[in-house]
Amino acid sequence: MFDEIMGKFEGSPSQQAVIRLLLERGFSVSDEGRVVSGSIEIPNTQIAREIDVDRRVVDSTTDAILEDDQLRRIFQNISSIPSLMDLAPVLDLTVLTVDVTDADRPGIVAEVTTLLAERGISIRQTISEDPEFTDEPRLYLVTDEDVPGDVLNQLTALDFVRKIELE
């Protein structure tokens, strides 16, 4: 799906940058062509400044989104989810990142969360990046406590795990 969306803006790397930002941040496009987060409007000049493009690029991108039925449905229904990952150091939480070899494989989240649950490790949040929207999707787990070394070894031994990181 990501490639299909980006393909609609193939001739404009600047517009692709706008699309990427909207998807990464979970920003929607209102009926009026304004970039919004919930009901809060985000000025196009701010979007443009963030990705170093002209404001008119943001305007033309939102216009193109509204003119395309598929894009309109996507960008009028997307929303952001608050993440504990950036707050983890402040809240004394642990972030476990799992890189996998095949993100389309069924059961990845179930296997990883089961392994943690069996050890009594409470998971505060799980974020799984969609393989359709990112080139190298990862699974992020925010836990209340440190993940013991033997559990990290068990995770690394799973056949679908490429690598793990701990923050």
Q: Assess whether 66 and 118 both reside in one domain.
A: no
Nearest Cα to Cα of residue 91 among 82, 99, 100? 82
Q: Integer distance in angstroms from the first to the last C-alpha of the chain?
A: 31
Domain count along the chain:
2
Q: Assess whether 94 and 160 both reside in one domain.
A: yes
**What domain range is 64 assigned to?**
2-75
Stretch 108-123: mean pLDDT: 95
Q: Assess whether 99 and 142 both reside in one domain.
A: yes
What is the reported pTM?
Answer: 0.74
What string of DSSP letters covers 10-40?
TT-HHHHHHHHHHHHHT-EE-TTS-EEETTE
Q: Dump pLDDT digits (tens) for 26-46.
A: 999 999 999 999 999 999 999
Stretch 85-92: mean pLDDT: 92
